[in-house]
Amino acid sequence: MFAHVFRYRFKCLIRDKQLVFWTLLFPILLATFFYLAFMNLNDDETFHPIDAAVVVSGHNQYDAPFKSALNSVSKGKKRLFNMKAASNQEEAAEWLKQGKIDGYYTSGKTIKLTVKESGFNQSIMTTFADQYRSSNSAVMQIASDHPEALQNGLLNDVGNRQNYVKEISGGSAEPNNILNYFYSLIAMACLYGSFWGMKEVSDIQANITDRAARVNMAPVHKLKAFIAGSSAALVILYTEILILLTYLRLGLNISFGPRTGYVLLTALVGSVLGLSFGAFISALIKKGGGLKVAILMVVTMVGSFLSGMMFLDMKYIIAEYLPPLVWLNPVNLLTDAFYALYYYDSLNRYALNVGAMLLFIVLFSAATYLIVRRRKYASL
């Protein structure tokens, strides 16, 4: 009997085009829009080496140390400059005019910087020139006043930058605010699964639909039929979430960190949470389907907003000013579980989020059971 009900409920659910659109295609479309909108933001935050040039003066005592300083910051992956040597002032000026470089240095007793406009890259070039001048001046002063200090490795000390504040990362992953948008989107998709839960309850409660009344008249245990139908809904929803995760990971290159097993587990818990939430609301509200859909929609969208899907800072504003809401918002719990998996080496925060979700699932399921188990209705 389980197989029979499961098979037909699966067919009923998978052929509901409207539900499939909202629970699968809509999140995929939204993820694509997010990707197009946010990837540029990430790109802007990435530092690109500055295209610059140097024109030497021909005085080796000035040119050699400056060129050496420039070379030291123009090597490797994290270099500051893509440095080119211009044969003369005119060539460098021409490159600047053509936009091939953001500015050029002219070495000599005084380091000169020529730029066409002001901007971020030009400010960096100015700062570099100022630092060089400052260090150079310090070394010259010490060499003149205390030449013996140069013997004691002072030159190395002047060149070094000592950090007095130690940066400790919460995890091995790079902080990435953009990810929160995608994680909250997955959470939203899971909560949209509440529509599947709603449909299952509607088709088992004789006081909601005539189909359900007919099922209630069959010699089948009502809760067994409900469990079979809900299992079909879970299989569909979880598959949809896996498709979404695969699209995000492989199609949009969204990182979930190295713990794939936990990510899949989180998606499963999220799917069960969505289903149980929809079933609970459907069982609780006696009014028409429109009101139920509205409630599920509002809870999901407001929850997504508060977890930072439309405005990232909202997540932190809620955490600061309304901390209980962090734990009462199922979308936030799911979003934060994904972020904790990505960012933190420790699983403590993840476990707290999953624990809270499981608690919600137990509460929703228990309440649904108490309502649905009713064997006779006061009115149909």
Partner 1 sequence: MMIHVKNLVKRYGDLVALDHLSLDIKEGEIFGLLGPNGSGKSTAINCILSLLSYDKGEVEIFGKKMTPDAYAIKRNIGIVMQNVAVFDELTVYENINYFCGLYVRDKAEQKQLVEEAIAFVELEDFRKFYPKKLSGGLLRRLNIACGIAHKPKLIFLDEPTVAVDPQSRNKILEGIEKLNAQGATIVYTSHYMEEVEQICSRIVILDKGRVIASGTKEELKAMITLGEKITVETFSIEEAQLCQLRALPGVVSVDKIDKRLIIKSGKGTNNLESVLNFLKNNQIGFGRIYSELPTLNDVFLEITGKQLRD
Sites of contact with partner 1 (CB under 8 A): 1, 4-5, 8, 11-13, 15-16, 203, 206, 209-211, 213-221, 375-380
Q: Which residues pair with 82 in a beta bridge?
A: 51
**C-alpha dist (Å) from residue 78 to 31, 50, 220:** 31, 11, 68
Name the minimum Å distance from CB 229 to partner 1. Answer: 12
Name the minimum Å distance from CB 374 to partner 1. Answer: 9
Name the minimum Å distance from CB 212 to partner 1. Answer: 8
Of 200 and 336, CB closest to partner 1:
200
Of 7 and 116, CB closest to partner 1:
7
Of 173 and 225, CB closest to partner 1:
225
Name the minimum Å distance from CB 214 to partner 1. Answer: 5
Half-sphere exposure of 50 (CA within 13 A, CB side): 22
Query: Structure tokens of 169?
Result: 């990362």
Of 50 and 215, CB closest to partner 1:
215
Name the minimum Å distance from CB 311 to partner 1. Answer: 38
Of 140 and 218, CB closest to partner 1:
218
CA distance 93 to 90: 5
DSSP 285-343: --S-HHHHHHHHHHHHHHHHHHTTSS-THHHHHHHHH-HHHHHH-HHHHHHHHHHHHHH
DSSP 180-225: HHHHHHHHHHHHHTHHHHHHHHHTT-TTT-HHHHHHHTSSS-HHHH
